[in-house]
Amino acid sequence: MQDPSDQPLPESLSLEQLLEELKKHEWAVNWRTAEALAQVGTGAVPSLLQALESEDGYMRNGAAIALGNIGRKEFARPLLQALRWRDDRVYEDDEDIEARMSAATALGKLHDPALREPLLAELERALESNATLASYIVEALGEVGNPRAISTLVKAVEHRDHNIQRDAICALAQLGPDAIEILHGILKDRSRQGRGYVVRALCPKATSSSIPILLQILADPDEDKYVRGEAARGLGRYCKSPDIYPALVKILENERDEVRSSVLMALGYLRNPAAFDLIVGQLRDPELRYTAVMALGDLGDTRACALLVPMLKSGDYSLVVHAATALGKIGCSDSIPFMLEVRDSFPRSPIAGAFRTTIEEALRMLQRTDKNR
């Protein structure tokens, strides 16, 4: 039976009824109600601002989420007050800190450079008292987008908490060329912490000067394997350069360590038809077979349909769902009858239910493809 808290809210709820829903101490209800209140828009703002001052942490949390989604700069002051909330009450569900984290996220969504100084002040306090809250404030500083925050974020990269490191690096990646150069410097120094996070954050923002650094990391077998793997996936997914494909092929053909899995994924992300035979060749490798199936799905080459359909009858549940997902991504509509047959053959169990859900999502992808043709 479905948990009532997982059921969608009725669309006909009035503003007053939504505010009552916000008082329920159930997180799933709270988040969905906050989204519904944001959809109400301007008419909900006075009530949300009042809720933001409530002693009830659930009320403050929902109000902060809704106001952040509405996203008007005049919400900055009340959201800062919610971020700074402190009292002596006992919160059994830690809803006080949840509300403060939601207020930090909401402040980031305002994209107001004037928030840099108050957020930096709150960050200094949070770094000493609550690393999780500090991480949310760091993320908000990145969203605010004020380059004057760079020096503080660079210090946060050295923090002992890995979440703060990660979020500081992601924030820096959003703050323009000066911050990107700092990230380049971290990548070049193997003694620095968080280099894998740097690669992950940098690739979507990579400049022409980033790609040679990333390719050098990828090509160096003495590099940290995690950092190399991140470089491979990031180069394949986000970067444009004629040097990327041959660099990936060279590793796949000449190395035998765990980075090959990331390289295989990257070849799929590139969507270069020349990679088809190379990816297919990895289906014979038991350590790379599932990754090769996923790579074929990302590659999107319809030649893979004939290879993937027989896998639906393999009896290996993991291979079946990987193949079904790949078929859905490619748009192999001829596989629909086979997928329906496999879906209906799964036994009744929680694990099989998860597999069935994956196949149903693949079927939806195929149906959308058919509609668009």
Tens of pLDDT, residues 296-334: 999 999 999 999 999 999 989 899 999 999 999 999 999
Q: Write down the pLDDT at residue 371.
A: 65
CATH node for 111-205: 1.25.10.10
DSSP 117-180: HHHHHHHHHHHHH-HHHHHHHHHHHHHHT-GGGHHHHHHHHT-SSHHHHHHHHHHHTTS-HHHH
1-86+93-110 and 208-284: same fold?
yes
Tell whether the torsion through CA atoms of 356, 361, 366 and 367 is positive or negative.
Answer: positive
The dihedrals phi and psi of 228, each to the nearest 5 degrees, come to: -60, -45
Q: Write down the pLDDT at residue 93.
A: 86
List the chain domain ranges: 1-86+93-110, 111-205, 208-284, 300-373
Residues 147 and 153: their CA atoms lie apart, in Å, by: 10
Tell whether the torsion through CA atoms of 292, 298, 304 and 309 is positive or negative.
Answer: positive
Instruction: List per-block mean pLDDT (blocks of 10 residues) for the chain, which spans 373 residues.
Output: 46 88 93 95 96 96 97 97 90 92 98 95 92 96 92 91 94 94 95 93 92 96 95 96 96 90 97 97 95 98 97 92 96 94 84 86 87 65
Spatial contact of 164 and 194, defined as CB atoms under 8 Å apart:
no
Give domain 1-86+93-110's CATH superfamily.
Leucine-rich Repeat Variant (1.25.10.10)
Spatial contact of 82 and 50, defined as CB atoms under 8 Å apart:
no
CATH of 208-284, one of 1.10.8, 3.30.1560, 1.25.10, 1.10.260: 1.25.10
* Beta carbons within 8 Å of 139's beta carbon, 6+ residues apart: 104, 105, 108, 167, 170, 171
Q: Write down the pLDDT at residue 2.
A: 34
Q: Write down the pLDDT at residue 373.
A: 62
Place of tokens 């444009």: 240
Q: Write down the pLDDT at residue 9.
A: 59
* Structure tokens, 27: 């997180």
* Structure tokens, 65: 């989420």
Residues 44 and 67: their CA atoms lie apart, in Å, by: 9
Q: Provide the mean pLDDT of the chain.
A: 92
Q: Select from 237, 164, 231 the least CA-distant residue to 199.
A: 231
Helix axes 27-40, 15-22, angle to 10 degrees: 150
Residues 19 and 35: their CA atoms lie apart, in Å, by: 12
Spatial contact of 149 and 123, defined as CB atoms under 8 Å apart:
no
Residues 164 and 157: their CA atoms lie apart, in Å, by: 7
Spatial contact of 271 and 254, defined as CB atoms under 8 Å apart:
no
User: What is the phi-psi region of residue 194: left when phi exceeds 0, alpha when psi lies from -120 to 50, beta otherwise?
Assistant: left
pTM above 0.85, yes or no: no
The H or E element containing residue 216 is helix 210-219
Q: Write down the pLDDT at residue 372.
A: 67
Q: Write down the pLDDT at residue 238.
A: 95
